[in-house]
Amino acid sequence: MTMPLLRLFFTAISLVTADHIIFHDAAMSRDASNECVCHIEYEDGIFPTHVVIFLDEALMNFTTDTEHEEEKITAIHFRIVEFHDKLVNLTVTVKETTENGLKNETDYNRINDTITDLMKTSKDISAILNATDARLEILLNEVNNVSSTTWKLEKYDKHNVLATRREVTTLRKQLADCEEAGGNPNFGLPSAGLIRPAIGSCNNKTLLNVSKPLVVKLNWRGFSYKYGGWGKDFALKAKDKDKFWVAPLNTDERIMETYRTYQTYHDLMLYKHQDEKSLSKKSGLTLIYGNCGQGSGMILYNNSFYYNCYNSRNLCKQNLANNQIKREKVNNAAFNNQVSYKNIKWQDFDFAGDEKGLWVVHAAENSKGKLIIGKVHPKSLKILKTWTTTLDKSQVTNTFMICGVLYALKQVSPHRESIFYKYDTQTGKEEKLDIIMEKVSDTPQSVSYNPNDHKIYMYNDGYLITYDLLFNYQPLKTRRSVPSNEGQGALMLSSVGRTQFAVV
Ligand SMILES: *[C@@H]1O[C@H](CO)[C@@H](O)[C@H](O)[C@H]1NC(C)=O
Ligand SMILES: *[C@@H]1O[C@H](CO)[C@@H](O)[C@H](O)[C@H]1NC(C)=O
Ligand SMILES: *[C@@H]1O[C@H](CO)[C@@H](O)[C@H](O)[C@H]1NC(C)=O
Ligand SMILES: *[C@@H]1O[C@H](CO)[C@@H](O)[C@H](O)[C@H]1NC(C)=O
Ligand SMILES: *[C@@H]1O[C@H](CO)[C@@H](O)[C@H](O)[C@H]1NC(C)=O
Ligand SMILES: *[C@@H]1O[C@H](CO)[C@@H](O)[C@H](O)[C@H]1NC(C)=O
Ligand SMILES: *[C@@H]1O[C@H](CO)[C@@H](O)[C@H](O)[C@H]1NC(C)=O
Ligand SMILES: *[C@@H]1O[C@H](CO)[C@@H](O)[C@H](O)[C@H]1NC(C)=O
Ligand SMILES: CC(=O)N[C@H]1CO[C@H](CO)[C@@H](O)[C@@H]1O
C-alpha cells in the first residue's frame, strides 16, 4: 500500500498588495493519487493599502501645516510685544499731559498718531488670531479624521490577523486528521508541509521563489527621496532584531546625511518615537560630510550601522549605542561611482548580513569591474577573505546574500527583476537561475535579506517593500516510508507578509 503524501498547494494570484490568505471552503480532500490536498490563495486588495497611503500623505501635510502655524504664532508674538511697548509709552505721555497740560498742537498730534497706530496694530493682531483660529480648527478636524482612520486600520488589521491565524489552525488540524486517517506512521510529528526552514540553519536553504511585493510604507522624507535603504538588524539573533531602520539619501542621490531607527513596527508605520542620527557636522556656515555615507549599500548589523564613508574607499560603522564612528580603508577598491550597480549611482559598496555573518560586495580597480564578495570582520571592519565572481558589477541591478550564497538581480522590465545568478562562497560554484521579482517602481536601490525573518527588504524608488521567500524542501528520509519524486519540489511558505501586522 502506498502511503498518502501530504501536500500544500500555494497559489499567488495578486498584483502588488498580496496580503490576505483565503482558504477554500472545501474540506480537506484526497486527489487521484491518494494525496491530502488543500488550496491556499492570496487575494488582492483585502488590506486597505490606500488607507495607509492616505495616512502617509496626511501626516506629511500636518508637518508642513504645523510648521506654518508656528511661524505665524511667532510673528504674532513679536507684534504683541511691540503693542505692549507702545502702550507703555502712551500711558507715560498721557500721564505727563494730564499733569502738565497740552503745550501745543505738535504734542496733541503726537498723541493722536500714537493712538491711531495702536488701534491699527490691535486690528491686525485680532485679524491674524482670527485666521489662525480658523486654520487651527481645520487642522484639528483633520487630526481627528486621521486618528479615526488609523483606529479603523488597526481594528481591521487585528481582525485580519486573528482570522488568518484561526484559518491556519483549522488547516493544520485538517491536514493532521487527513494524515492520521491515511495511517501515516509519522502521526504525532508536525505535518511535514508546514515546517518552516529553521531560522539560522543553512541546511539545504536554496532559494526557490519569492512572493509578490508587500508595500510597507513610503520613506519618512517623502516621494522625492528615491535613493536609500531600509530593513531590520540583519545580524543573526541580534539583540534588537525587531528594530527597523530607514535611510533615505539626500536628493543628490549620493549623500546619506541622516537615518532613523524605530523600536517597533507600529512606530515605523506612524513615524513615531524615531531615533534620528545625523552624520554631517557644521563648521561655521559650511557642512562637513566626512562622516556621512555614500550610496545605498548601508545596513544595520548587530546594532551598528555599516556604510561606505562619503567620498572615500573606506568602510564606516556607527555604533548605535554610543554613536562612535569607526572607519577602515579597502585597498584597491573602486569607489566614488567608479563601479556602481547598473542604473544606480554611487553604490560602489553594498553590505549584506546573513546566517554566515557580515559581507560587503564591491569591485576593485584591478578586477576589471568584476563583482567581488568580501567577508567582513564586524569589529575591525577588515576584509577577511574575498571571492571574485565572473559578473560585471555594473551589469547587475543589485545583490543579496543567503547562507553565504550571493544572488544577483537584473532588470527584465520596468516592473520586474530577475534573480538570474548565484555564487556559492562555500564551493566557489556559479549558477544561472530565473526567479522573477515584481516591483512597484523602476529601480531597486537596495535589496537585502534578513536571516531573522527570511524576508527580503527592498528600497524601491522611495517605497519600503518586503518579500517572503520560498525555500526548496528536501524531505527527510525518516519522515516518509515511501520516498516520492514529488516531495522534492514541494513548496514551503516560509512566512506570510501580513503577519508583520501582528507586531502592532
Ligand atoms: C514563482 O511563483 C510564481 C507565482 O507567484 C509562479 O508563477 C512562478 O512560476 C514561480 N517561479 C518558479 C521559478 O517556480
Ligand atoms: C495634502 O495637501 C494637498 C495639497 O494641499 C492636498 O491636495 C491633499 O488632499 C492633502 N492630503 C491630505 C490627506 O490631507
Ligand atoms: C517708547 O519711548 C521710548 C523713549 O521715548 C522710545 O525710545 C521707544 O522707541 C518707544 N517705543 C515705541 C514702541 O514706540
Ligand atoms: C511743543 O512743545 C514741546 C515740548 O512739550 C516742544 O519740544 C516743541 O518744540 C513745541 N513745538 C512747537 C511747534 O512749539
Ligand atoms: C488723528 O489722526 C487721524 C489719523 O492720522 C486723523 O484722521 C484725525 O483727523 C486726527 N485727529 C485730529 C483731531 O487731528
Ligand atoms: C473673524 O472671522 C470671521 C469668519 O471667519 C469673520 O466673520 C470676522 O469678521 C472675523 N473677525 C475679525 C476681527 O477679523
Ligand atoms: C476624512 O478624510 C477622508 C479622506 O480624504 C474623507 O473622505 C472624509 O470625508 C474625511 N472625513 C471628515 C469627517 O472630514
Ligand atoms: C553581536 O555583538 C555581541 C556583543 O555586543 C556579540 O556577543 C555577538 O556575537 C555579536 N553577534 C554577531 C552576529 O556578530
Ligand atoms: C545539509 C544537508 O541536509 N544537505 C543535504 C541537502 O540535500 C541533498 C540532496 O538534495 C543531500 O544530499 C544533502 O545531504
Comparing CA positions, the residue from 466, 436, 352, 467 lying closest to residue 399 is 352
> 147 is written with which cell numbers?
486618528
Closest ligand by atom to 128 CA = 6
Do 225 and 248 form a contact (C-beta atoms < 8 A)? yes
Asked if residues 490 and 7 have their Cβ atoms less than 8 Å apart, the reply is yes
Provide mean pLDDT across the span 362-384. 95
Q: Which three cell numbers stand for residue 256?
A: 546619506
Query: How far, CA to CA in Å, does 234 sit from each of 249, 279, 292?
Result: 20, 21, 21
| pLDDT value of residue 31 | 59
Whole-number pLDDT of residue 503: 21
Q: How far apart are CA 48 and CA 19, in angstroms?
A: 10
Residue 210 has pLDDT above 80, yes or no: yes
Q: Which atom from ligand 6 is nearest to the alpha carbon of 134?
A: 5
Distance 57 CA to ligand 2 centre (A): 7
125 or 439, higher pLDDT: 439
Mutational test site, ligand 1, from 14, 436, 494, max ligand atoms within 8 Å of CB: 436
Ligand 2 close to Cβ of residue 61 (< 6 A): yes
CA 220 to centroid of ligand 2, rounded, Å: 17
Categorize the per-residue pLDDT at 364 as very low, low, confident or very high, splitting at 50, 70 and 90.
very high
Q: Which ligand is nearest to the CA of 101?
A: 4
What is the rounded distance in angstroms from the CA atom of residue 208 to the CA atom of residue 185?
29
For residue 204 and ligand 9, the question of a CB distance below 6 A is answered with yes
Residues 300 and 261 sit within 8 Å (Cβ to Cβ): yes
Alpha carbon distance 101, 129 (integer Å): 38
Pick the residue whose CA is nearest to atom 3 on ligand 6.
Answer: 130
Q: Give the mean pLDDT of 293-299.
A: 97
Of 57, 62, 148, which is best to mutate to test ligand 2, by the most ligand atoms within 8 angstroms of its C-beta? 57
Pocket test for ligand 3, best of 78, 80, 89 (most atoms within 8 A of CB): 89
Quote the CA–CA distance of 352 and 406 in Å, as a whole number.
Answer: 10
Q: Is the pLDDT of residue 333 over 70?
A: yes
Confidence of residue 437 (pLDDT cuts 50, 70, 90): very high
So what's the pLDDT on residue 457?
Answer: 96
Residues 202-217, mean pLDDT to the nearest whole number: 82
pLDDT at 149: 65
Nearest-angstrom CA–CA distance, 135 and 427 = 66
CA 189 to chain centre: 37
Query: How many other CB atoms are found less than 10 A from the CB of residue 272?
Result: 12
User: pLDDT tens digits for 230-266?
Assistant: 999 999 999 999 999 999 999 999 999 999 999 988 8
Comparison of pLDDT for 195 and 205, the residue scoring more: 205
For the CA of 474, the nearest ligand: 9
Centre of ligand 6 to C-alpha 72, Å, is 17
370: pLDDT strictly greater than 90 = yes
Nearest CA to ligand 3 atom 4: 89
* Per-residue pLDDT tens digits for 452-500: 988 999 999 998 998 888 887 544 433 332 222 233 222 222 222 222 2
Show the ligand 6 pocket: residues with CB < 6 angstroms.
126-127, 130, 134
R_g of the chain, CA atoms, integer Å:
31
| Chain segment 109-126, per-residue pLDDT in tens | 877 888 888 778 777 777
Dist CA 36 CA 32 (whole Å): 10
> What distance in angstroms lies between residue 108's CA and the mean position of ligand 5's atoms?
10
Beta-carbon count within 10 A of 490 CB:
20
| 175 CB-side CA count, 13 A | 25
Q: How many angstroms is it from 69 CA to the middle of ligand 3?
A: 30
Q: Is the pLDDT of residue 85 over 90?
A: no
* Ligand 4 proximity of 106 Cβ (cutoff 6 Å): yes
Instruction: Identify the pLDDT of residue 346.
Output: 97
Mean pLDDT lowest for which of 132-146, 299-313, 349-363, 411-425? 132-146
Q: Given the CA of residue 204, which atom of ligand 9 is nearest to it?
A: 6
- 193 CA distance to ligand 3 centroid (A)? 86
* Closest residue CA from atom 7 of ligand 6: 130
pTM for this model (two decimals)? 0.55
Ligand 2 site, residue 58, Cβ cutoff 6 A: yes
Span from the CA of 187 to the centroid of ligand 9 (angstroms): 24
Distances 175 to 283, 319, 459 between C-alpha atoms, Å: 67, 47, 38
Half-sphere exposure of 48 (CA within 13 A, CB side): 13
Query: For position 69, what pLDDT does the model report?
Result: 72
For the CA of 236, the nearest ligand: 8
39-81 pLDDT tens trace: 554 444 455 666 667 777 777 777 777 777 777 777 777 777 8
Atom of ligand 8 nearest to the CA of 357: 13
Q: Between 108 and 281, where is the model more confident? A: 281
Instruction: Name the grid cell of 41.
Output: 490563495
d(CA 72, CA 77): 9
Burial class for 419, CB neighbours closer than 10 Å (0-12, 13-18, 19+): buried
Mean pLDDT of 309-315: 97
